Structure 1
Amino acid sequence: MSFVQTLRTETAADHDAVDARFGALRLDRTADYLRFLIAHGRALPAVEAALANHDDLPVWRPRADALAADLAALGRPLPAALPFVLDNEGARWGALYVIEGSRLGGQLLARGLPPDAPSAYLGAVHQRGEWRALLDALERQAAARDDRWRAAALHGARQTFALYRGALGD
């Protein structure tokens, strides 16, 4: 089994828990969409800050500004980011896998928004080949590293899913 497949399998329950929490929101209703954006505003900038300025990662495109623009269009500021620390390279790769995977999910969610809803964040899709390139790079990194690195990547992914789950609150 490839490392990406292992990562997907081992974090499936974490991913499902996040999907269940956010899936209860109806993004065609302004209040729910705002709640969704605020929760992402608590999580995504924290992850992006933890990934910033690390040349051990492939090139990636932040989305916090797009998220802030959508919130501003709805009359809300970007909320304070939750505390989040990634303490090693493997964990950073795991976190990057999660936030770039959420970009894929965002593309699907954007289809359910009303036409007049601000959608810069969910509309910030992968460029052609970008997701595949990330998965290939992750696979190469995992193959070149030891079990501790792979465990750290798995931990970083789980940590990121937990951050999103907690960002929605009760």
Structure 2
Amino acid sequence: MSAALALRERTAAAHEAVDAAFAGYDLADAGAYRAFLIAHARALPAVEAWLGQRRGLPDWRPRAGALAEDLATLGVAMPAPLLFALPDDEAAAWGALYVTEGSRLGGVMLARSVGEGLPTAYLSAGFEPGEWRALRAALDAALVDGAALDRAVIAAEETFGLYRQALL
């Protein structure tokens, strides 16, 4: 089984918990959408800042700027990010990157639910052709042993947990 598929399967419960926590937001409603973006803004920049300090990862495109742009359009400043730290470990970085980049896929689907006239730079920041496939291949090459995969799973679960914490 590929590392990407193993990560997906082993973190499914954490992923489902985050999806369920965010499912209550009506993205067609400006107020609910604003609250949804604020919660993301408490988590995403923290993870991206941490990832930006890691070596050994493939190129990835941060989305915090697009998120700040959408919030500014809605008249909201970026909130302070939550604290986020994982072990300084390449496998942990892969786990956090898996969650952060994987959320692009869901974001593009969610963008279709955003109310007319509301900004969608953040949710619409999907993958370029071949990017997700290349990222999965790189992840599979990086997490070749079980111990590294275990550390990546723990990091991914903690990253999902940060998003749940952002809703509190």
Gaps of 5+ in 2: none
Q: What pairs up with 1:104-119 in 2 under 5 angstroms?
A: 104-119=105-120
Q: CA deviation at 1:123?
A: 1.1
Write the distance in 2 (CA, Å) between the matches of 1:158 and 1:39. Answer: 18
Q: TM-score, normalised on structure 2?
A: 0.96
Q: CA deviation at 1:97?
A: 0.4
Gaps of 5+ in 1: none
Corresponding pairs, count = 167
Q: CA deviation at 1:51?
A: 0.3
Q: CA deviation at 1:114?
A: 1.8
Write the distance in 1 (CA, Å) between the matches of 2:15 and 2:56. Answer: 25
Task: Report if the CA contact (8 A) 2:28-2:116 is conserved.
Answer: no
Deviations 1:5-35 (Å, cap 9, x if unpaired)?
A: 1111110000000000101111001111011
Q: Which amino acid aligns with 2:132?
A: W
Q: TM-score, normalised on structure 1?
A: 0.95
Task: Report if the CA contact (8 A) 2:11-2:153 is conserved.
Answer: yes
User: Is 1:152 aligned to 2:151, yes or no?
Assistant: yes
What SS class does the counterpart of residue 57 from structure 1 fall into? coil
Task: Report if the CA contact (8 A) 2:86-2:92 is conserved.
Answer: yes
Percent of residue pairs identical: 54
Q: CA deviation at 1:158?
A: 0.3
Q: What pairs up with 1:43-62 in 2 under 5 angstroms?
A: 43-62=43-62
Q: CA deviation at 1:103?
A: 0.6
The Cα RMSD (Å) is 0.9
Write the distance in 2 (CA, Å) between the matches of 1:2 and 1:91. Answer: 17
Aligned residue in 1 for 2:21: 21
Q: CA deviation at 1:148?
A: 2.4
What SS class does the counterpart of residue 139 from structure 2 fall into? helix
Which consecutive segments of 4 or more residues in structure 1 shift more than 4 A?
none
Deviations 1:81-135 (Å, cap 9, x if unpaired)?
A: 0000122111110000001110110000000112210111011111111011000
Write the distance in 1 (CA, Å) between the matches of 2:119 and 2:21. Answer: 22
User: Is 1:42 aligned to 2:55, yes or no?
Assistant: no
Q: What pairs up with 1:55-94 in 2 under 5 angstroms?
A: 55-87=55-87, 88-94=89-95
Q: CA deviation at 1:150?
A: 1.3
What SS class does the counterpart of residue 154 from structure 1 fall into? helix
Task: Report if the CA contact (8 A) 2:43-2:162 is conserved.
Answer: yes
Write the distance in 2 (CA, Å) between the matches of 1:16 and 1:53. Answer: 28
Write the distance in 1 (CA, Å) between the matches of 2:103 and 2:160. Answer: 10
Write the distance in 1 (CA, Å) between the matches of 2:121 and 2:47. Answer: 19
